[in-house]
Structure 1
Amino acid sequence: MPVTDVQTDTENRTLTITADFAAPVERVWQIYADPRQLERIWGPPEYPATFVAHDFTPGGRSSYYMTSPDGERFGGWWQFTTIDPTSSFTFDDGFADADLNPAENMPVSTNRYSFSATAGGTRAVYSTTFATADDLQKVLDMGVIEGSTGAINQIDALISG
């Protein structure tokens, strides 16, 4: 399994997941740049994602929804702040309503995904910071660790296929 470490830090309101992939950085990067590939790994396996927009540029926005096994849709959005090709990108991540508009009263996180070459391929570090410890706790209670770990662990099948 690619995920090698998960750390939560309530004091600093962060969740950090580290994963190692047996593929070059450029291959792992392409997954995040291409919405059709991103759909195959974003969200837990039982909640496949559909990206309806994906402007992977500084200032660009993505909108998506995940579909539950019962057919219920859960929306989300990303607003990109920086893109450093093959190295890192930063973005705000939030929940969305049925029309994919930002959901009121739901946590918004600031994220930095970074990728570096290792002897065996790529190390990815997924860092998420929340505005408050309560926001972090809310997503922890929603199962973000299990969902994120399940999503990231899908990358191996995509890069080997």
Structure 2
Amino acid sequence: MNNLLFDFTVDKAAKTVFIAREFDAELSLVWDAFTKQEILDQWWAPKPFASKTKSMDFKVGGRRFYAMVNPEGQEMWAIQKYTSITPQTNFKYLNAFADKDENIQLPGSDWDLTFTEQNGITKVSIIIYNDSLERMEKMIEMGFKEGFTMTLNSLEELLKN
């Protein structure tokens, strides 16, 4: 059993979810896993779903347009619009559901990811702010904690290889 940190906290008053997760891997590897399309698609979906990126431009003002695909082939699309990038340290984006034609369904949520490394262990701290408490509660009810936990566990497995 590992002693790597995993913390998941929901603050309804602040309409914010706080996630902290450690990985037994160098920061550069973890950063690449979150910022490179070909790696993201290997882990950015809870099993049995798969992640399928249609386009990704990791730069401020750029975006990732991708789908979560279920085993029957049904696609649920989302867009991440990158608003801030500090290489190997932090990036922020607006995440929103969309249709297959890239029409965004607002409100979305603001994601803020910070990466730190100590003694070969990389910690990813994620703050997810929702303008809408209703949207956040719906996300939680849809199993976001369980799904995102599975997703981060998939990344841990990938980093071991």
**How far, CA to CA, are the matches of 2:27 and 2:112 in structure 1?**
16
Letter in 2 for 1:119: N
In structure 2, list runs of 5 or more residues that go unmatched: none
Equivalenced residue count is: 159
Matched, 1:35 2:37: yes
Question: Residues 39 and 49 of structure 1 are in contact (CA less than 8 Å); yes or no, is this contact kept in structure 2?
Answer: yes
**How far, CA to CA, are the matches of 1:72 and 1:61 in structure 2?**
22
User: What are the within-5 Å matches in structure 2 for residues 48-127 of structure 1?
Assistant: 48-103=50-105, 107-127=107-127
Percent identity of paired positions between Structure 1 and Structure 2: 26
The TM-score with structure 1 as length reference comes to 0.93
Q: Which runs of 4+ in 1 moved over 3 A?
A: none
Letter in 1 for 2:114: S
Letter in 2 for 1:142: M
Deviations along 1:59-83, one digit per CA (max 9) or x if unpaired, are: 1011000111221110000000001
In structure 1, list runs of 5 or more residues that go unmatched: none
Following TM superposition, by how much is the alpha carbon of 1:98 offset from its aligned partner in structure 2, in angstroms? 2.7
- Root-mean-square deviation (CA, aligned residues, Å) is 1.4
Question: Residues 112 and 127 of structure 1 are in contact (CA less than 8 Å); yes or no, is this contact kept in structure 2?
Answer: yes
Which of 16, 21, 25 is the aligned partner of 1:14? 16
**How far, CA to CA, are the matches of 1:45 and 1:68 in structure 2?**
9
Partner of 1:138: 138
The TM-score with structure 2 as length reference comes to 0.93
**How far, CA to CA, are the matches of 2:124 and 2:34 in structure 1?**
12
Question: Residues 67 and 74 of structure 1 are in contact (CA less than 8 Å); yes or no, is this contact kept in structure 2?
Answer: yes
Letter in 1 for 2:99: D
